Structure 1
Amino acid sequence: MKKNFYHLVTATLLTVVLAGFSSCGEGKADQQAAASQTPSLPVISLPVKTLTGYQSYPARIEGVINAEVYAKISGYITDVAVDEGQKVRKGQVLFRLETQSLNQDAAAAKANVNAAQVEVDKLKPLVEKNIISEVQLETAKAKLKQAESAYNSIAANIGYGTIKSPVDGYVGAINLRAGSLVSPSSQTPLTTVSEIDKVYAYFAMNEKEYLNFIMAADGGVRDEKIENLPQVTLILANGEEYPQQGTIETVNSQVNENTGSVNFRAVFDNPQRLLTNGNSATLRVPKTYTDVVVVPIESTLERQGSTYVYQLDADNKATATEITVKDEINNLYIVSDGISKGDRIVAKGIQNLRGTTTIQPQETPFDSIAAPIKKSFR
């Protein structure tokens, strides 16, 4: 009897112990399964940074002085005295026109002047002796002036046959060569002489961009704001940055009705004559943001026109949080609302998250996600 009782107790205890071991094993397995279902994702803490971004606009380059050269008389070009790209001085001969017929007219006009002068000289002593009236002398003098005027006009036209540079500068394209017939009514200039020690860069902003730009500038009235506008830069057609910075000098006060844009003009020094009339470039206007919260674009998600990050709480629960993006520089969003300095967000893999998700955070340096941070334009 006792022996059977001891066997029963022993079997019961063994069953309890085995059950305990079994439950412990199942608990650890459940914990491991739960851990395997919790995603392990990189997490960054948000800093504040000072960044400079650039808004870019197509620009057209022109010389500060851009003088088109036209013929003042009709005639055939007999000589082109300069070449394209040549530096010339004001008054230097550029073209010569055929003036043979004008020379003949000038000789005839000069003969008329001489004849009129002889008539005046003949009448003067007769008037002094009261042989003829003074009216006859005055009439002769008037004829002399008419003859002189006709001669001077022809002589001036002969002078116009030698076409000279109106300014110091560089010769542009020569559109007509020797043998071409030109006239004052020609629509195409013979050439253009440009002074390019300084050049203008013309560009335009749409109305919204213009208002934001001017309103953000320091100063009271509009003229003060223009004086305080930042220096601008040029990206040349080959992708290189022009070494000189420029200054925005003028802003058109009217919106173009056809394009809805406002025209700007910036001036650049051009000591190496690298820029010339007709060049194209991209003008960059800088904008600096000081001590702003930034988020890597890679760490954001776009949904129905809104931008989100997955923000972590103290329990490592990641929740979608909407942010307000103020600007974009390189691979960073500048954020004006929604998150703050020091907040933790999921750096990568957020496209797989839904709702509120507990994660295993892998603390990651911010710059390993956002670097390299460089000045850029878009």
Structure 2
Amino acid sequence: MKKRIFNYLIPALLGVLVTTSCGEDKSSGEAQAQAQQAQKLPVISIPQQTLTGYSSYPASIEGIVNSGVRAKIQGYISNVLVDEGAKVRKGQALFKLETQSLSQDANAARANVNAAQVEVDKLKPLVDKGIISNVQLETAKAQLEQAKSNYESIAANISYATVKSPVDGYVGAIPYREGALVGPTDTTPLTTVADIEQVYAFFSMNESEYLNFIQKTEGATLQEKIENFPEVTLVLANGKEYEQKGKIQTVTAQVDRTTGTVSFRAIFDNPNQLITNGNSGTLKIPIEYKDVPVVPLNSTFEQQGKI
């Protein structure tokens, strides 16, 4: 009899325990749900603003004038009158070429001029008296003019022996020194003089970038669009922004078939000559994005390295 009662009690007790456990779980879940519903979170309206981004392009720098200096005559350098990096003025002497042989030629040419002049002076009275024909005098005059021309040519070559700067600017590398034989056919110039009061920044865009940029710029013609291009920024090789803003001046408006790019040229003032020929950098063009929703950074969260 006791055994039968015990068998009845066990299922009953288990039922009570299960019911109690389920009730507790249900109550706990409802409490958590109510707590979550009761939690208040801040709500903001997301404003729309005009933001500025940048497109960046590698750029190479050159002075607005970059003039190669070459010898107009062949000769040996007798003196280098400036040093690399020196600031020079237009017409300033940079090199002297040996002129000894030219001076000898000039003396001989001058003697020929004198002799031809004597011949003309001798024939004039003879023609006036009818002793000789005028043809002989005209021939002598022609020989005099030829002698003068030869002398003037040699004298000009002597003046070319002083090689002068063609522009105001700064002297570049000087590959030739005293004793070097130089001439007008040399492929390498004696030096280069660059005017870097202003500098050009050359850069390029691919065809797609070019079309997007042109289409977004106001203007009916390409020239009008160029005038409306925004000011650009130059980031130097050390990562710092150049203090002077630049302006895009020219666009080739032709796609290079080899590279698939369109070339641009921007100009920058360079009052302190901080940048010069051969510098490189990155040119940044501002791009406006209008009516962009702006979400505060503190309203975002990061998950697995992504916002």
Fold shared per TM-score above 0.5: yes
Report the CA distance between 1:44 and its aligned residue. Answer: 8.2
Say yes or no: does 1:263 pair with 2:263.
Answer: yes
Change (3 A) 1:292 1:143: same
Residue 346 to residue 65, structure 1, CA distance change in 2 (3 Å):
closer
Counterpart of 2:237, as a letter, is A
Superposition TM-score, scaled by structure 1 size: 0.70
Identity %: 61
Q: Corresponding residue for 2:236?
A: 236
| Inter-partner Cα distance in structure 1 for 2:257 and 2:18 | 87
Rounded Cα–Cα distance in structure 1 between residues aligned with 2:226 and 2:304: 44
Change (3 A) 1:280 1:44: farther
Q: CA deviation at 1:159?
A: 1.0
Contact 1:43–1:346, Cα closer than 8 Å, also in 2? no
Residue 227 of structure 2 is matched in structure 1 by: 227
Secondary structure of 1:53's counterpart equals strand
Shift of 1:350: 8.4
Give runs of aligned pairs for residues 1-378 of structure 1, distance below 5 A: 24-31=23-30, 46-294=46-294, 347-349=301-303
Distance 1:295 1:231 in 2: 28
Aligned with 2:278: secondary structure?
A: coil
- For 2:21 and 2:253, the matched residues in 1 are separated by 85
* Cα distance, 1:157 vs structure 2: 1.1
Question: Secondary structure at the residue paired with 1:243?
Answer: coil
* Matched residue, 1:359: none
Q: Deviations over 1:103-124 (max 9, x none)?
A: 1111111111111111011111
Q: Give me the whole-angstrom Cα distance separating, in 2, the residues matched to 1:140 and 1:289.
A: 84
Give the number of the structure whose residues are more often strand, by fraction.
1
Match of 2:10 in 1: none
TM-score (norm 2): 0.85
Instruction: Give the deviation of 1:294 after TM superposition.
Output: 4.6
Distance in 1 of aligned mates of 2:186 and 2:104: 25
Which residue of the partner structure matches residue 4 of structure 2?
A: none
Stretches of structure 1 that go unaligned for 5 or more consecutive residues are 1-15, 300-344, 353-368, 370-378
Shift of 1:57: 0.9
Q: 1:30 to 1:84 in 2, by over 3 A?
A: same
Question: Could you tell me how far 1:199 is from its partner in structure 2?
Answer: 0.8
Q: Secondary structure at the match of 1:150?
A: helix
Structure-2 residue corresponding to 1:340: none
Q: 1:221-256: per-residue Cα shift (whole Å, max 9, x none)?
A: 111001000000111111111110001010002111
Corresponding residue SS for 2:220: coil
Equivalent-residue separation in structure 1 for 2:43 and 2:183 (angstroms)? 74
- What letter corresponds to residue 100 of structure 1 in structure 2? Q
- By how many angstroms is 1:98 displaced? 0.8
| Whole-angstrom CA distance in 2 between matches of 1:144 and 1:351 | 92
- TM-superposed deviation, 1:190: 0.7
User: Does the 8 Å contact 1:236/1:281 carry over to 2?
Assistant: yes
Structural RMSD (CA): 3.0
Shift of 1:349: 3.6
* Structure 2 CA distance for partners of 1:19 and 1:59, relative to 1, 3 Å: closer
Distance in 2, Cα, partners of 1:180 & 1:216: 56
Distance 1:281 1:190 in 2: 28
Q: Residue 163 of structure 2 aligns to which amino acid in structure 1?
A: I
- Aligned-partner SS, 1:54: strand
- The secondary structure found in structure 2 opposite 1:101 is helix
